[in-house]
C-alpha cells in the first residue's frame, strides 16, 4: 500500500488551550487525547464528548500552560496514565488588540507568556518523553500574523512569528530524535477568540474580499491540517508552517 496512513491509532496526544475541535479531530483519527486548560471545567464536557462519541480515552487536566511547575506536573501525569506521549498540539493563545503606542508591560508579558512561553515549555517537557519513545510530532498553532502584518496586535504578531522560527529551530535540533515539529498558520476562523470581530458584517466582508477562496475558515479546515501534520502522512515534513488561510498570504491584508 503506497498511501501513508492519516490514522493516529495507539497514539496519545496533548492539546493545550482547551482546543475542542482539534481534540475531537485527533480522537476521531484514533488518538487518546489529554486536554489542558486553566480550569478543568472548561474541558470536562469536551472529554466526555470525546469518550462517548469516539470511544477514545480523554484526560481533562487543569494546568496553567505558562507555569513550568504546573505544566510539568500535568505532562508527567498524562505520561504516567497513558504510558507515554506521542503528539503535542500547542494551541494555547490569546490576543489583546491594543495599538502599539498604548501596549502596556502587563499586556506584553501576558501575550508573550500565553502564546510563546507556553509552547516552548510544553514542547520541551513533552519532547523528553517523545525521545524515550523514539520520536513524536509537535504542531504549533501560529497565525498568518506571524508572516504578514495585520493592523493591530503587534505583540500577537511578534509571538506568532517567533513560533514559526521556534518551529524551525526545534525541528533542526530534534530531528535526530525522531521528533517532527511543524506549525499551522490560520487566517480568520470562527472561534471564541474571533467571535466579536466576526459579528461585524463589514469586517467579515473585508476579510472575505482579501481571501481568494472567498470565505471565512471553518474549524474542520484547520483540523484536517493538524491531523495531517500529526500523522504518518506527513512523515517527511518537519520545520514547516502550513498556512491554512484560504490563500490570504498570497498578497497580505
Helix then strand then coil, in percent of the chain rounded to 5, is 50, 15, 35
Judge whether 251 counts as a catalytic residue: no
Place of cell 505532562: 75
**Residue closest to 36 by CA, chosen among 80, 75, 79:** 75
Tell me the β-bridge partners of 60.
35
150 and 98 Cβ atoms separated by less than 8 Å: no
What are the residues whose beta carbons fall under 8 Å from the beta carbon of 28, sequence distance 6 or more? 54
Rg, the chain, Cα only: 18
DSSP code string of 125-170 = HHHHHHHHHT-EEEEEE--GGGTS--SS-HHHHHHHHHHHHHHHHH
**Residue closest to 122 by CA, chosen among 164, 88, 93:** 88
For the beta sheet containing 136-141, the strands, ordered from the edge strand earlier in sequence to the opposite edge, are 58-62, 32-37, 12-16, 87-90, 136-141, 179-186, 241-244
Place of cell 498553532: 141
Distance CA 117, CA 8 (A): 27
Task: Please tell me the number of Cα atoms within 13 Å of 132 on its side-chain side.
Answer: 8
Catalytic residue among 156, 188, 236, 251: 156
Residues serving a catalytic function are: 156
Amino acid at each position: 500500500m503506497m498511501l501513508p496512513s492519516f490514522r493516529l491509532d495507539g497514539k496519545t496526544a496533548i492539546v493545550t488551550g482547551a482546543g475542542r475541535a482539534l481534540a475531537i479531530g485527533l480522537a476521531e483519527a484514533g488518538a487518546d487525547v489529554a486536554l489542558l486548560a486553566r480550569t478543568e471545567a472548561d474541558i470536562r464536557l469536551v472529554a466526555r464528548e470525546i469518550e462517548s462519541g469516539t470511544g477514545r480515552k480523554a484526560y481533562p487536566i487543569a494546568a496553567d500552560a505558562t507555569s513550568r511547575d504546573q505544566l510539568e506536573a500535568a505532562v508527567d501525569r498524562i505520561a504516567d496514565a497513558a504510558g507515554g506521549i506521542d503528539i503535542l498540539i500547542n494551541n494555547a493563545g490569546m490576543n489583546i488588540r491594543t495599538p502599539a503606542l498604548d501596549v502596556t508591560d502587563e499586556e506584553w508579558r501576558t501575550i508573550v507568556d500565553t502564546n510563546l512561553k507556553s509552547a516552548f515549555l510544553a514542547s520541551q517537557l513533552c519532547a523528553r518523553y517523545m525521545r524515550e519513545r523514539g520520536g513524536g510530532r509537535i504542531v504549533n498553532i501560529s497565525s498568518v500574523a506571524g508572516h504578514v502584518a495585520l493592523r493591530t496586535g503587534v505583540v500577537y504578531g511578534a509571538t506568532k512569528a517567533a513560533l514559526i522560527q521556534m518551529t524551525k529551530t526545534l525541528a533542526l535540533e530534534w530531528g535526530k530524535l525522531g521528533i517532527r515539529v511543524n506549525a499551522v498558520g490560520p487566517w480568520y476562523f470562527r472561534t471564541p477568540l474571533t467571535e466579536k470581530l466576526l459579528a461585524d458584517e463589514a469586517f467579515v466582508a473585508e476579510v472575505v474580499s482579501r481571501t481568494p477562496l472567498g470565505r471565512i475558515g471553518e474549524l474542520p479546515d484547520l483540523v484536517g491540517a493538524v491531523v495531517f501534520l500529526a500523522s504518518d502522512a506527513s512523515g517527511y515534513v518537519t520545520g514547516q508552517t502550513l498556512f491554512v488561510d484560504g490563500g490570504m498570504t498570497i498578497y497580505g491584508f
